Amino acid sequence: MKDVHNVSADADGRLFDPQARAALVQFIGGDDTLAMEAAAAVRTASHAIERMRAQGSENRGLSSGTLDVLLRLSASADGMTIGDLAKSAGVSSRNVTGLVDTLERDGLVQRAPAPHDRRSVLARITPAGQEWIENWRRPTQLAMGAIFRDFTPDDLAQLRHLCLRLADNHHKLTQYLNGAR
Amino acid sequence: MKDVHNVSADADGRLFDPQARAALVQFIGGDDTLAMEAAAAVRTASHAIERMRAQGSENRGLSSGTLDVLLRLSASADGMTIGDLAKSAGVSSRNVTGLVDTLERDGLVQRAPAPHDRRSVLARITPAGQEWIENWRRPTQLAMGAIFRDFTPDDLAQLRHLCLRLADNHHKLTQYLNGAR
DNA sequence: ACTTCATCATGAAGGACGTACATAATGTCT
DNA sequence: AGACATTATGTACGTCCTTCATGATGAAGT
């Protein structure tokens, strides 16, 4: 079986994807490929994580979107409104409505009227939801441990740091764009 | 407007997501949260990149999956088979068939019989496809530059490196699992 | 108080990505 | 020649996500 997957190491001993670089170098001069390569690498990594997570929480019946919402709700004891969930997840509020629908159908989340604003709906995690997460925790932990094999705590912190800087840039950018409109 | 998006800095000056950490700390003891936090951060970053890319190549009509295939094809002058594309992208071959369908409908890619194996189909990028990528390059470069604002070349290389290490782990893992089956 | 405008959740409709299973054509091995 | 594997694709389906429209509610100005 021919192996398409391939990584090489550059002069600093850092990995890069030769295929991605070849595709980029012919269009963009030297330095600017760095950002594109990094972006492609992040995408690949995210896919890998998604795969592992799906494999780990298999048979449990929750998919990426709903899991994302459930995790956010498990973090806030008082629940969150649909709109807040949408903002924090970076997706449309209509989408969150649907995700909460399925979670509610499964009994993992409950809707309640919001105290301050009668237009809003408060989503709150149920005991069944908490339990679901309890069961999800162990295999996921193992899966993440496997995919981050040989990462030092410093590596992990640095990866987190760089990714969040990126997300922060994006957030500021969209805020700026919306403000300028 | 209440701002849900939020990042803080830890003792090392590195960013973290307080909400994600709060959600994790109550389940997992100290050190193991690092991997989960990193995974969540990668997911967030990937979303941000996807957003920027969609915004940059807007009005051009290609979405993430098809763009991924087109980029891979632009890297190999002789074209690639459906199966190889599927392997390198980490998705099912049936999925790639559909993506190549839409690309072919748009005239950006052509199918041809593979010389060595008459079961295989060779997908090759057309001149129109090359041109499409030419037009895509500039806005995307700008978008990536914006989202990676204040990243030093070393930051970018390190981010790429960490992400590819992760992907490499994942690849070895799945290979191991498939071999053991 | 009344009007006007903004915001919230949701209905309706649709696009894109991705999967699993079945199948016909072709390769490979014994 | 026959048994089995592999390749691409048809069929059927699920999930995520979007935009636009709508009814209910809040907020702000007069």
- What is the model's pLDDT at position B181? 38
Residue A120 CA to nucleotide D28 C1', Å? 20
- Give the model's confidence band at A111: pLDDT under 50 very low, under 70 low, under 90 confident, else very high: very high
- CA atoms of B22 and A75, how far apart (whole Å): 6
Tally A–B CB contacts below 8 A: 259
Which residue in chain A has the smallest CA separation from B74?
A: A23
- What is the model's pLDDT at position A2? 36
- What is the model's pLDDT at position B45? 85
More confident residue, B39 or A101: A101
Across A19-28, A63-72, B91-100, B147-156, least confident range:
A19-28
Per residue in B128-138, pLDDT (tens digit) is 999 998 888 88
How crowded is residue B13: how many other Cβ atoms within 10 Å of its Cβ?
A: 7
Q: Does B58 touch chain A if contact means CB atoms closer than 8 Å?
A: no
Q: Which of A10, A69, A77 is nearest to B156 (CA)?
A: A10
Determine the length of chain A. 181
- What is the model's pLDDT at position B85? 95
Q: Which of B48, B25, B49, B46 is nearest to B37 (CA)?
A: B25
User: Which token pair is A43?
Assistant: 């995408």
- What is the model's pLDDT at position B22? 58
- Give the model's confidence band at A76: pLDDT under 50 very low, under 70 low, under 90 confident, else very high: confident
Chain-chain contact of A48 with B19 (C-beta, under 8 angstroms): no
- What is the model's pLDDT at position A1? 36
- What is the model's pLDDT at position B29? 46
- What is the model's pLDDT at position A147? 85
- What is the model's pLDDT at position B2? 36
Restricting to A residues 105-164, those with a Cβ less than 8 Å away from any Cβ of B are 133-134, 137, 140-141, 144-151, 153, 155-164
Q: Is the CB of A174 under 7 A from strand D?
A: no
- CA atoms of A144 and B37, how far apart (whole Å): 10
- CA atoms of B133 and B42, how far apart (whole Å): 26
Across A34-38, B58-62, B101-105, least confident range:
B58-62
- Give the mutation candidate from A8, A164, A169 for the B interface (greatest B CB count, under 10 A): A164
Instruction: With beta carbons less than 8 A apart as the criterion, state whether A112 and A155 touch.
Output: no
- What is the model's pLDDT at position A62? 87
- CA atoms of A33 and A22, how far apart (whole Å): 10
Q: Could you tell me if residue B79 is left (phi over 0), alpha (psi between -120 and 50 degrees) or otherwise beta?
A: left
Contacts with B100 (C-beta within 8 Å, 6 or more apart), sequence order: B69, B82, B85, B109, B111, B123
Instruction: With beta carbons less than 8 A apart as the criterion, state whether A173 and B150 touch.
Output: no
Instruction: With beta carbons less than 8 A apart as the criterion, state whether A165 and B13 touch.
Output: no
- Give the model's confidence band at B70: pLDDT under 50 very low, under 70 low, under 90 confident, else very high: very high
Residue B179 CA to nucleotide D2 C1', Å? 28
- Own/partner long-range contacts of A51-60 (Cβ < 8 Å, ≥24 apart): A51/B90, A51/B170, A51/B174, A52/A143, A52/A144, A52/A146, A52/A147, A52/B170, A52/B173, A53/A140, A53/A143, A53/B39, A55/A143, A56/A136, A56/A139, A56/A140, A56/A142, A56/A143, A57/A136, A57/A139, A57/A140, A60/A132, A60/A135, A60/A136
Listed as ranges, the nucleotides of chain D within 7 A of a protein C-beta are: 6-12, 15-21, 23-27
Q: Does B166 touch chain A if contact means CB atoms closer than 8 Å?
A: yes
Q: Is B80 helix (H, G, I), strand (E, B) or coil?
A: strand
Interface residues 37-66 of A with strand D (CB < 7 Å): 63-66
More confident residue, A177 or B154: B154
Mean pLDDT of chain A: 81
Instruction: With beta carbons less than 8 A apart as the criterion, state whether B28 and A150 touch.
Output: no
Q: Find the CB nearest A19 among B52, B75, B170.
A: B75
Across A20-24, A41-45, A46-50, B135-139, least confident range:
A20-24
Chain-chain contact of A75 with B23 (C-beta, under 8 angstroms): yes
Residue A98 CA to nucleotide C23 C1', Å? 36
- What is the model's pLDDT at position B3? 42
Structural domains of chain A, ranges and CATH numbers in brackets: 1-56 (no CATH), 62-148 (1.10.10.10)
A12 pLDDT higher than 70? no
Residue given tokens 């709060």 in the structure block: B22
- Give the model's confidence band at A61: pLDDT under 50 very low, under 70 low, under 90 confident, else very high: confident
How crowded is residue A168: how many other Cβ atoms within 10 Å of its Cβ?
A: 19
Mutual angle of helices B33-56 and A153-180, in 10-degree steps:
30
Q: What ipTM did this prediction achieve?
A: 0.74
- Give the model's confidence band at A167: pLDDT under 50 very low, under 70 low, under 90 confident, else very high: confident
Nearest protein residue to nucleotide D25, judged by CA and C1' positions: A119
- What is the model's pLDDT at position A29? 47
